[in-house]
C-alpha cells in the first residue's frame, strides 16, 4: 500500500529556521523516486517556498495551519478556508471592546497580506519587525475596518495571559459556533501568549483529509510528524503519528513513535528507513 508522509516544519522537520543539507538532499532523492510527501505548517506560502527552494513537491502544501492548501510550484491557493463572511466584523468589534490589537491575515484576491493598525503594540511590533516566524510575509499598516470585506483567513493576537484569557472567554460565549480559537503560550516572546482565530474548516487534519481524498487514499495510509499543540488534530487523525523526542508533552503522549529531534534530521531519517526499507 502506498504511504503518504506529512510533516510539520518548525521543531519537527527543520531547526534554526532552515532545512539541513542532509534533509534537503534526501528529500529530493526520495521525491524523485516517488515519495508522497508534503508539509503542514503555521507558516505562509512565501516562507515555505524559501525553505524548499529547488525541491519539486508533487503534493500541495498546507499553510497557516490549514487556512490554505496551496501549490508550491505555482504559488496558487487550491483551497482557501476563510472565516465566515459576517464573522470578522463581529470578532473585530469584540477585540476592540477588549482594547486589544489584532493582526489580520487576508487575501485581497491577488495576494496574501498581514495587516495591522497599531505598530507600537509589543506583540504587533514583534510580528512585523523581529519575528523569524513571520519572515518573508508581506505586511501593510492600515485601518483594519477596511479589510473586513476581504477574505479574512486568520486573526492573530499576542498579549498577556489575562487580557487574552478574557477575550477567549468572550469569543467562546458569543461566536464559538463558526470559529476555532487557539490560546497558548508564545515560546518566542517571553511573558506573552498567542490567541489565533480561524474558520472551523482551517485545521491541519481537515486539510490533510482533503488531500487524501484527492489522492484516493484514506488515513490508514497516512504518517504525520509533529511537535506542538497545533499538531494535535493531525496526530490524532493519522494512522501513524511520529514526534521528535523534544516535542511538548501532549504530543509525545499520543505519538505512535518517538524519533530524534529536528537538528538530528529525525523526520527524514525515519522516512528513508521506511521508504528504502533499510
* Per-residue pLDDT, 187: 77
* Per-residue pLDDT, 182: 87
* Per-residue pLDDT, 189: 85
Render 67-132 in DSSP notation, one character per residue: TEEE-TTT--EEEE----TTHHHHHHHHHHHTT---EEEEE-SS-EEEEES-TTSHHHHIIIII-S
Measure the CA–CA gap between 92 and 98, rounded to whole angstroms: 10
Whole-model pTM above 0.85? Answer: yes
* Per-residue pLDDT, 17: 85
pLDDT, tens digit, for every residue of 29-41? 999 999 999 999 9
Cell 519572515 belongs to which residue? Answer: 135
Domain end: 133, 166, 199, which one?
A: 199
For residues 186 and 234, membership in a common domain is answered with no
Measure the CA–CA gap between 256 and 241, rounded to whole angstroms: 5
Measure the CA–CA gap between 203 and 169, rounded to whole angstroms: 21
Residue 243: which H helix or E strand, with range? strand 240-244
Q: What sign has the CA pseudo-torsion 220, 225, 227, 228?
A: negative
* Per-residue pLDDT, 229: 87
pLDDT, tens digit, for every residue of 151-191? 999 999 999 999 999 999 999 999 878 898 989 888 778 89
Q: Which of 75-79, 174-178, 180-184, 272-276 has the lowest mean pLDDT?
A: 174-178
For residues 194 and 97, membership in a common domain is answered with yes
Distance of CA 197 to the CA centre of its chain: 12
C-alpha grid cell for residue 266?
Answer: 529525525
For residues 268 and 182, membership in a common domain is answered with no
For residues 183 and 234, membership in a common domain is answered with no
For residues 184 and 95, membership in a common domain is answered with yes
Measure the CA–CA gap between 197 and 1, rounded to whole angstroms: 37
Residue 228: CA count within 13 A, CB half-sphere: 19
For residues 29 and 112, membership in a common domain is answered with no
* Per-residue pLDDT, 29: 97
pLDDT at 135 > cutoff 70? no
For residues 187 and 152, membership in a common domain is answered with yes
* Per-residue pLDDT, 118: 83
Whether the Cβ atoms of residue 199 and residue 82 lie closer than 8 Å to each other: yes
* Per-residue pLDDT, 232: 95
For residues 40 and 134, membership in a common domain is answered with no
- Which has more pLDDT, 249 or 134? 249
Phi, then psi, of 84 in degrees rounded to 5 = -45, 135
For residues 51 and 139, membership in a common domain is answered with no
228: domain CATH number is 3.40.50.1000
pLDDT, tens digit, for every residue of 123-132? 898 888 776 6
For residues 70 and 39, membership in a common domain is answered with yes
The count of domains in the chain is 2
Residue 171, C-beta contacts closer than 8 angstroms, at least 6 positions apart: 91, 94, 179, 181, 197
Whether the Cβ atoms of residue 57 and residue 73 lie closer than 8 Å to each other: yes
User: Domain range holding 132?
Assistant: 87-199
Domain end: 170, 199, 228, which one?
A: 199
* Per-residue pLDDT, 128: 82
Q: Cα dist. 97→91, 93, 120, 164 in Å?
A: 10, 6, 19, 12
Domain end: 160, 176, 199, which one?
A: 199
Instruction: Please provide the average confidence, as pLDDT, over all residues in the chain.
Output: 92
Q: Which of 20-24, 138-142, 161-165 has the lowest mean pLDDT?
A: 138-142
Measure the CA–CA gap between 94 and 169, rounded to whole angstroms: 11
pLDDT, tens digit, for every residue of 52-67? 999 999 999 999 899 9
Mean pLDDT of 109-133: 83
Measure the CA–CA gap between 79 and 68, rounded to whole angstroms: 6
For residues 40 and 62, membership in a common domain is answered with yes
Measure the CA–CA gap between 44 and 11, rounded to whole angstroms: 16
pLDDT, tens digit, for every residue of 203-216? 999 999 999 999 99
103: domain CATH number is 3.30.1240.10
Q: Cα dist. 9→6, 54, 74, 85 in Å?
A: 10, 17, 20, 30
For residues 211 and 248, membership in a common domain is answered with yes
Q: Cα dist. 144→11, 116, 133, 155 in Å?
A: 32, 6, 22, 11
Amino acid at each position: 500500500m502506498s504511504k503518504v508522509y506529512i510533516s510539520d516544519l518548525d521543531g519537527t522537520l527543520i531547526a534554526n529556521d532552515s532545512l539541513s543539507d542532509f534533509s534537503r538532499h534526501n528529500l529530493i532523492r526520495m521525491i524523485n523516486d516517488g515519495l508522497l510527501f508534503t508539509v503542514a505548517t503555521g507558516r505562509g506560502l512565501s516562507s515555505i517556498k524559501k525553505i524548499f527552494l529547488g525541491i519539486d513537491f508533487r503534493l500541495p502544501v498546507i499553510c497557516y495551519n490549514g487556512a490554505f492548501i496551496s501549490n508550491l510550484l505555482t504559488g496558487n491557493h487550491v483551497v482557501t478556508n476563510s472565516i465566515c463572511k459576517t464573522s470578522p466584523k463581529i470578532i473585530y468589534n469584540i477585540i476592540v471592546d477588549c482594547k486589544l490589537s489584532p493582526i489580520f491575515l487576508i487575501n485581497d484576491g491577488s495576494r496574501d497580506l498581514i495587516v495591522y493598525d497599531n505598530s507600537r503594540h509589543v506583540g504587533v511590533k514583534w510580528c512585523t519587525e523581529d519575528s523569524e516566524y513571520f519572515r518573508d510575509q508581506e505586511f501593510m499598516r492600515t485601518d483594519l475596518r477596511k479589510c473586513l470585506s476581504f477574505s479574512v483567513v486568520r486573526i492573530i493576537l499576542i498579549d498577556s495571559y489575562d487580557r487574552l484569557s478574557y477575550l477567549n472567554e468572550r469569543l467562546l460565549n458569543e461566536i464559538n459556533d463558526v470559529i476555532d480559537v487557539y490560546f497558548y503560550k508564545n515560546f518566542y516572546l517571553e511573558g506573552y501568549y498567542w490567541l489565533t482565530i480561524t474558520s472551523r474548516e482551517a485545521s491541519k487534519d481537515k486539510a490533510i483529509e482533503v488531500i487524501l481524498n484527492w489522492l484516493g487514499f484514506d488515513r490508514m495510509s497516512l504518517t504525520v510528524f509533529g511537535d506542538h499543540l497545533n499538531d494535535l488534530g493531525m496526530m490524532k487523525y493519522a494512522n501513524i503519528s511520529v514526534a521528535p523526542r523534544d516535542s511538548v508533552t501532549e504530543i509525545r503522549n499520543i505519538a505512535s513513535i518517538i524519533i530524534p529531534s529536528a537538528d538530528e534530521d529525525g523526520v527524514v531519517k525515519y522516512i528513508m528507513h521506511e521508504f528504502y526499507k533499510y
